Each structure stands twice: as C-alpha cells, then as structure tokens.
Amino acid sequence: MNDLPFGFSSSDDRDKNSGDGDNNRGDNDGNNGGQNPTNPFAFAMGDGGAIDPSQLGQIFSQLGNMFSGMGAGMAGGAGQGAVNYEVAANLARQQVGSFTPMLEKEHRAVADAVRLAEVWLDDQTTMPAGITTTAAWTPVDWLENTMPTWQTLCDPIAEQMAKTMDAGLPEEAKALAGPMMAMIGQLSGTMYGTQLGQGLGQMAGGVLTSTDIGLPLAPDQMGVLLPEAIAKFAEGLDLPAQEIVVFLAAREAAHIRLFTHVPWLKQRLLATVEEYARGIRVDFDGLQNMAGGIDPQELLTNPGKIEELMGSAASFEPVTTPAQEAALARLETLLALIEGWVETVVSDALGDRIPSTAALTETMRRRRASGGPAEQTFATLIGMDLRPRKLREAATLWRSLTAASDVSVRDGVWGHPDLLPDAEDLDNPAGFIDRVIGGDTSGIDDALAELERQFKDDGDIKDDGGKNDGGTNDEGKE
C-alpha cells in the first residue's frame, strides 16, 4: 500500500545502499573458478573420480562450505554443543539478505501508535500498561534480540536428544558405525543449528511484532513493531494502513501487559517446553540401518553422500510419549488462552474507534491458527507447535466470562496458574464460568492459608519440644 501510516517508510525512501554489502553474500558459494557448483571438491578429483591425497586437506577445509551460510560457524569452532548457534545466526542472517535501517520517524511512529493504543486499552483491562520503551526493528534486529529466547527454548530439547543418543545407542550399533559416530556427533550441533537458522530466517521476514507468535521475545517491557513486514502485510488488505498499525500496536501492548503483570506466565511457557524435552527418547532403528549402509570410501569420493547423511534427520526423530503429548496439549491451551484474551481486550478497546477492527481480528485469527512456512519449520525443529489450536474457543470463553461478570473478574483468573481454564473448559465454557462467578476461585486462597497454618504448627512443635503434638493432631483433624 502507498498510504503508509505514521511516517512508516518503504525501502525506497531509505538508503538503498545500507545493506548492499550483505545482499550478495553467498552468490558464489560452491562455484570456485568455474567448477561444478554441485561438487565443491572437484579440484581434487582425477579423471576417474579418485581422490588426490595431496588435496585431501583442502577437501575437508571446504566441508564447512557445503551448505550456504554455514562456513563461518563450522570453521570458527564457536557455538559447538547441542546446537551450533553461530551456524543458526549466519544462515538466518543470509536468508534475510539486504536490509535498511529504521529511520527516526519510524521509531516515532511506533511510539505514537503504542501510546494511542495504551490509552484505549486502559478502559478494557485492569492490568496497567506494561510497555516502558518502544522500537521499530528490522528483521536483523529481530534475529539479534530474540536469539536468547530461542536458545532457552531449543537447548533443553537438543541437549536431551544428545543425551539419549549417547546413552541409548546399543553397543553393537556403535561398533557398526565405528569412526562415523564421532563425525555424527560433531555434525549434530550443526544440523540442528541449520534447521534453526532456516526457521528463524523465515520468521524474521514475516513477523509483525515482538509477540507475533505468542511468546515474549523482546526484552522485558519493550513494545516492538517491524515496519517493513507490516507494510507487506498491509499490501494484501484493502484497509487503511493507519488503522492496521494502531491495531497491531494494540495487540503488542496487550501482550506486554499480560506478560508483565502475570509474572509466572513466561516461565510456565518455557517450563512446558522443558517438560516436553525431558521425555524425549530416540528410536535408533533408523540410525542402525543408516550406519550399516555407510561405505567409508564413498564418503571420500562422493561429498554428496555426507550431505545426504546430514539431511537424514528422520533417522534421529524422537518418539513422542504420552507425557509429551500432554505437555504439547498444555502448551497449545496456554497459547490459545493468551491469544484469546488479547483478541478480546483489543476488540473491545478498538471496536468502536477503528472500523476495520472486526476484519483485522478475523485476519489475525486465521493467521495465528493456520500458521505459515516459518511456524511449520519450527514445529518440525522442536516438535512443538506454536499455534493456538483452540483460539476461537478461548476467545469465546473470555468474552462470555466478561459478559457474565466484569473485566476485573476476567483478569483475576490470571492471578494463579491453577485458576486458568484447561482444554476441557474451552470445550465447556459454561461450566468454567459457573465456577468462577460462583466464587469457586477461593480454593487457592484456602489451600495457601492451610499451608501457612501447617508451617506455623510445625514451628510451634519445634519451639516447645513437641509437647503439643496431641493438640496439633486434634487441630489438624478439625
């Protein structure tokens, strides 16, 4: 669209040369001096395809360049471990390509949109504003600032997979694989880093805000919009671009309010991922079959075979256990509750002020529920889907609870994780609402009070040497 709002600029308005130095990175990868780009080691091959021993060192020195964007991470030795994050960052950065830095007017535009959205949100939630700083990010800014959170998400899963591979592989399989086990171990971190880089590279080009996928990825209390992605998003909608920006700013502000004033929420999301990771087990049948078919001579004469092995991630796919399926269900439910609450609050705050609110709400609902290539790539990578499966049901529950009570009762449900509705409640919201408005939320307070009383009784017993044991027991029975 041409009517970019609040000073948002298209790339044509900025310095087109600011990212040119990165734009051509990798253009000549795998094509050294006119050699066959599909065989980067052709210089070491004789006419019959045999290896020239004098060139063997150069073969392995170019192994890291087999995949575009991976060379720096593998050659530098940094980021080694369960995940090679240097490979992930390099590959994601290359996928982003050239970019132009944000202009000051774009930073001001984000601040203005967030400020307006916060005023309107104040009337529809008891949670105060959570944003203290705002920013306009490029895709590269998003990559750099969100990587710590992705490490927190990916480390438990990758580390558990590595442990299960080391501990669970039968001895006969280890002997069969022989020296290839060491190579597979070294490459596993790069394989995972490659997948992560591909997923993040796709996400960076399409996310609209820092909370676009339902997780708090930006630094605490920072509200972020990505103007370039928003401009592309607006091109596909026949709606005023200014309204789109304010709507997205309101969604960002509502997310930040929730994550700021519900301090256990972010930790609960990350803990669910860790719980999933603890149950990972690897089926080694595929690995044994792969190891049995390895020909060391073929590895030396056919570099493409190594690429094939690195791409054989299916051989290492974890087996999903019932405990993991339960963790996945809890994550999907929690994401749906977050998304449904944000949708409800934003719709109520903007519905009478922005004519396109209903259309934008439906657009975002479908976007979050269906996901795109980036979400699918990441779901394959960590085995967890970041899409809220029951978004419509969650939004209906929050709206119904608000209508049956008020905003303070609805927001009070976030006061403790045990008060939140579960998947069954999303299917039967009437029962959940009856419990909430019927005063059933006191169960948590009663339980805490009982726990405090028990601690006090235990302290009294220690103070008098246990003389009041009988009285304590009688009191406990009451």
Q: Where are the domains of the chain?
A: 11-15+53-375, 390-440, 443-477
> For the segment 160-217, what is each residue's pLDDT rounded down to a tens digit?
776 766 665 566 656 665 556 556 656 677 778 888 888 888 889 889 999 998 888 9
Q: What SS3 state is found at 224? A: strand
pLDDT of res. 3 = 53
> Is the CB of residue 227 less than 8 Å from the CB of residue 102?
yes
7 — alpha (psi -120 to 50), left (phi > 0) or beta?
Answer: left
pLDDT of res. 411 = 97
Q: What is the mean pLDDT of the chain?
A: 74
Question: Which comes out higher in pLDDT, residue 176 or 392?
Answer: 392
- pTM value is 0.71
Residues 6+ apart with CB under 8 A from 142: 203, 204, 207, 210, 217, 224, 226
Question: Which comes out higher in pLDDT, residue 1 or 139?
Answer: 139
> Is the CB of residue 102 less than 8 Å from the CB of residue 136?
yes
DSSP assignment of 102-138, as one string? PPHHHHHHHHHHHHHHHHHHTTT-SSPP--SEEEE--
> Is the CB of residue 332 less than 8 Å from the CB of residue 107?
no
For range 308-325, the mean pLDDT: 61
> Is the CB of residue 334 less than 8 Å from the CB of residue 258?
no
- 362 band by pLDDT with thresholds 50, 70 and 90: very high
Judged by average pLDDT, the poorest of 120-134, 247-261, 453-467 is 453-467
For range 29-54, the mean pLDDT: 42
Question: Which comes out higher in pLDDT, residue 263 or 444?
Answer: 263
Q: Which residue has the tokens 């967030």?
A: 114
For range 437-464, the mean pLDDT: 59
For range 445-462, the mean pLDDT: 59
> For the segment 126-154, what is each residue's pLDDT rounded down to a tens digit?
999 999 999 999 999 999 999 998 888 88
Amino acid identity of residue 437, one-letter, is: I
